[in-house]
Amino acid sequence: DSGVTQTPKHLITATGQRVTLRCSPRSGDLSVYWYQQSLDQGLQFLIQYYNGEERAKGNILERFSAQQFPDLHSELNLSSLELGDSALYFCASSPGGATETQYFGPGTRLLVL
Distance of CA 84 to the CA centre of its chain: 16
Please pick, from the candidates 64, 102, 110, 112, the single residue that binds other proteins as defined by CB under 8 A.
102
Please pick, from the candidates 5, 20, 22, 45, the single residue that binds other proteins as defined by CB under 8 A.
45
Q: How far is the CB of 59 from other proteins (least distance, A)?
A: 10
Determine if 16 is a binding residue for other proteins (CB under 8 A): no
Q: Are 24 and 71 in contact (CB under 8 A)?
A: no
Q: How far is the CB of 86 from other proteins (least distance, A)?
A: 14
